[in-house]
Amino acid sequence: MSSRPIPSPGPLASGLLAVVAFLPRLVRRVRRAGPHWIDARELSAALDRGQQPLVIDVRGSDEFHGPLGHVPASVNIPQSDLSARLPDLEASKRRRMAIVCRTDRRSARAAELLIEARFVDVAIVRGGMEQWTREGFAVARDDTP
């Protein structure tokens, strides 16, 4: 029986081994990628193009139906109720979402919760409804919660 030395792997094999070793970490990091920010113009343009992201307004019902109004076709899920309502949103995990509140603070917290729950395309509307109305975009208003 001959004893030949085992050849060392070539650069391609070493590269593939490195990719295989680090791929799970990369996938976990991508999954944990945070929400991104969009401005009111981007959201309005997406709605005008018929892309229909799911717009979730995380303000309380009194604000949603109040004087500042809300983005037409938005869904009102107050931030305080969002955790309990995640099962209702399960079918939308891969759908683009735009989260809006009065400014963008509650939206940012709500977006982080959605990302932790593995929703994949979550955007925070920078400046919230205050910016939306300053830009002059359509607003739905009603007095009935």
Domains in the chain with CATH codes: 34-134 (3.40.250.10)
Write the pLDDT tens digit of every residue in 76-113.
Answer: 999 999 999 999 999 999 999 999 999 999 999 999 99
Considering just the CA atoms, what is the radius of gyration of the chain in Å?
Answer: 22
Confidence class of residue 2 from pLDDT cuts 50, 70 and 90? low
Q: Which residues contact 71 (CB under 8 A, 6 or more apart)?
A: 43, 47, 55, 57, 100, 129, 132, 137, 138, 139, 140
Mean pLDDT of 2-29: 60
Q: Taking the model in full, what pTM does it have?
A: 0.76
* Total residue length of the chain: 145
Task: Check residue 25 and give its pLDDT.
Answer: 59
Measure the CA–CA gap between 111 and 31, rounded to whole angstroms: 14
